């Protein structure tokens, strides 16, 4: 029960206090009054004189209004737990003015407060201690559970501070120590230590340490160290170290070291953990872990893990503009949803959705690229939309053009080849070079076919054994694609003007 409830209750009890009736006396009749008119009314109304009854009824209305007003104020007043969460919670950095405004008790409207003020004062004056059943609000009880909620902001402290659940405004000194939950608006000093949770708006110091969780809006200096979680919106320092989870938005540091490491933008040396992730960009030396994922761009030395990925998706579509720029991406699975610029992409499976520009793309089970320009693309299946270099695999496939050499244990395919195809079966629409295999096929041949069975639609002979030659298109058609040449031939009267 609140202070207002107690005053209103005592006022009402004082007015309703029972008093025994005075002995009945026959009243003196005034001049002219009839002798047959009764002077005193019988029944229960005789116990209360008319003035006493009027006083009771007149006081009941303001008392009821007082109780109603107090109940509404009590219902709308936020709890201490809510205030703590709003003031510190996950965003402890708040100005003192904001804290004072939020912690100030709600004020009643003038239309409600003015009518009940006078009856409340009178109740305090007319009610004695015997009729008042509520608690006495003296200076001692204001420190008890009936005390009002304090609205002062956290105080400032210097040199050294220790407590159970300390709340500090600005601290400057050596250290703060907390057994449970430390909350500091601005920390400037050596280190802060909490057994459970350590929250700071701005933390500038050597270390923020907690067995549970460290939280900071802006961290600068040394390290965040905890068992379960480190979190900072803006981090500039040595690093975050946790057995479980490290998280930052903008991070410039040597390392994130934990089971789960995540940053929106990481600028530093390394992310080291089971799962390493950046949402926008990684600029540093290496991501090293079981699963390393730069969902934006990667610029560094290497991504090394069981699974390595750059770009928002593991196997994205052609056309994404994210990129890997470094030396190597190496793991069981290595993928780039965008462009690869480096020396080598290596894995049991390697994939680049757009352009591969490097030395080697190796996939034991398969290597794929939208456009491959390099020394060698090799795997059980080596595939690209168009490629320049060497394709080596059980099957070597260029869906459009290949410039260089295709070597396939089982076979090779290219829509257009400038170079050589070597395999059991070699298939191409347009060949400018040589085909060597058991079976060779070309629609347009300018070069040589060597194999047990050779087929070239425009060769010297359509079908031959061992050796076939073709002189293909010459003159103005030199270097044009096969489909272009066929369209050009179809537009001529005879369709054979190329000979």
Q: How far apart are CA 425 and CA 423, in angstroms?
A: 5
Q: Which of 150, 245, 229 is nearest to 194 (CA)?
A: 229
How confident is the model at residue 70, as a pLDDT? Answer: 44
Helix (H) or strand (E) holding 48: none
Residues in the chain: 499
Pairing of β 344-357 and β 463-471: unpaired
Long-range CB contacts for residues 446-451, cutoff 8 Å, separation at least 24: 446/470, 446/471, 446/472, 446/473, 447/472, 451/426
Q: Which of 393, 446, 439, 438 is nearest to 417 (CA)?
A: 446
Q: How far apart are CA 203 and CA 234, in angstroms?
A: 10
Please state, in angstroms and as integers, the Cα–Cα distance from residue 408 to each residue in 341, 379, 391, 412, 476, following that order.
26, 10, 8, 5, 33
Q: Is 39 exposed, middle or buried (0-12, 13-18, 19+ CB in 10 A)?
A: exposed
How confident is the model at residue 158, as a pLDDT? Answer: 77
Q: Which of 211, 99, 201 is nearest to 150 (CA)?
A: 99
- What are the φ/ψ torsions at residue 270 (nearest 5 degrees)? -150, 150
Q: Is 278 in a helix, a strand, or coil? A: strand
Helix (H) or strand (E) holding 457: none
Do the Cβ atoms of 411 and 424 come closer than 8 Å? yes
For the chain, 499 residues long, give each residue's pLDDT as a single digit of tens.
444 445 444 444 454 444 444 555 554 544 444 444 444 343 434 444 444 445 544 544 555 454 444 444 444 444 443 443 343 334 554 444 444 444 444 444 444 433 433 333 333 333 333 333 334 434 454 455 555 555 556 677 778 988 899 999 999 999 999 999 999 999 999 999 999 999 999 999 999 999 999 999 999 999 999 999 999 999 999 999 999 999 999 999 999 999 999 999 999 999 999 999 999 999 999 999 999 999 999 999 999 999 999 999 888 776 678 999 999 999 999 999 999 999 999 999 999 999 999 999 999 999 999 999 999 999 999 999 999 999 999 999 999 999 999 999 999 999 999 999 999 999 999 999 999 999 999 999 999 999 999 999 988 888 999 999 988 754 434 444 445 544 444 444 444 343 3
């Amino acid at each position: 029960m609140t202070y207002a409830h107690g005053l209103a209750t005592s006022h009402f009890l004082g007015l309703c206090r029972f008093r025994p009736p005075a002995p009945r006396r026959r009243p003196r009749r005034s001049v002219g009054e009839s002798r047959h008119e009764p002077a005193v009314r019988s029944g229960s109304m005789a116990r209360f004189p008319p003035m006493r009854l009027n006083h009771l009824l007149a006081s009941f209305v303001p008392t009821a209004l007082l109780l109603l007003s107090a109940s509404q104020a009590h219902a709308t007043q936020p709890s201490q737990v809510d205030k703590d969460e709003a003031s510190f919670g996950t965003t402890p950095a708040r100005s003192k003015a904001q804290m004072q405004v939020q912690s100030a008790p709600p004020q009643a409207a003038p239309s409600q407060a003015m009518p009940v003020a006078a009856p409340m004062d009178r109740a305090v004056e007319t009610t004695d201690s015997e009729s008042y059943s509520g608690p006495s609000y003296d200076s001692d009880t204001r420190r008890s559970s009936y005390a009002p909620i304090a609205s002062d902001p956290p105080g400032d402290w210097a040199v050294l501070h220790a407590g159970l659940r300390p709340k500090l405004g600005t601290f400057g000194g050596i250290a703060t120590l907390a057994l449970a939950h430390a909350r500091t608006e601005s920390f400037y000093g050596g280190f802060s230590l909490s057994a459970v949770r350590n929250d700071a708006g701005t933390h500038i110091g050597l270390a923020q340490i907690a067995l549970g969780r460290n939280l900071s809006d802006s961290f600068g200096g040394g390290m965040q160290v905890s068992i379960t979680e480190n979190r900072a919106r803006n981090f500039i320092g040595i690093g975050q170290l946790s057995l479980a989870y490290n998280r930052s938005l903008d991070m410039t540091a040597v390392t994130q070291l934990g089971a789960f490491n995540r940053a929106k933008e990481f600028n530093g040396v390394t992310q080291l953990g089971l799962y390493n992730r950046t949402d926008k960009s990684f600029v540093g030396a290496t991501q090293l872990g079981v699963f390393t994922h730069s969902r934006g761009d990667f610029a560094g030395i290497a991504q090394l893990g069981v699974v390595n990925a750059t770009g928002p998706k593991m196997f994205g579509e052609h056309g994404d503009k994210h990129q890997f720029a470094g030396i190597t991406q190496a793991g069981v699975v290595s993928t780039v949803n965008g462009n690869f610029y480096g020396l080598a992409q290596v894995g049991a499976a390697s994939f680049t959705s757009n352009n591969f520009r490097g030395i080697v793309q190796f996939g034991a089970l398969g290597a794929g690229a939208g456009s491959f320009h390099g020394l060698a693309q090799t795997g059980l299946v080596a595939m690209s939309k168009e490629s320049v270099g060497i394709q080596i695999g059980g099957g070597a496939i260029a869906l459009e053009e290949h410039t260089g050499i295709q070597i396939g244990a089982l076979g090779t395919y290219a829509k257009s080849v400038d170079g050589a195809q070597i395999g059991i079966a070699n298939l191409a629409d347009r060949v400018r070079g040589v085909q060597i295999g058991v079976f060779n096929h070309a629609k347009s041949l300018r070069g040589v076919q060597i194999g047990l069975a050779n087929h070239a639609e425009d060769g010297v002979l359509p079908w031959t054994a061992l050796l076939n030659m073709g002189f293909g298109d010459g003159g103005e058609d030199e270097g044009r694609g096969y489909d272009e040449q066929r369209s050009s031939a179809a537009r001529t009267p005879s369709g054979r003007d190329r000979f």
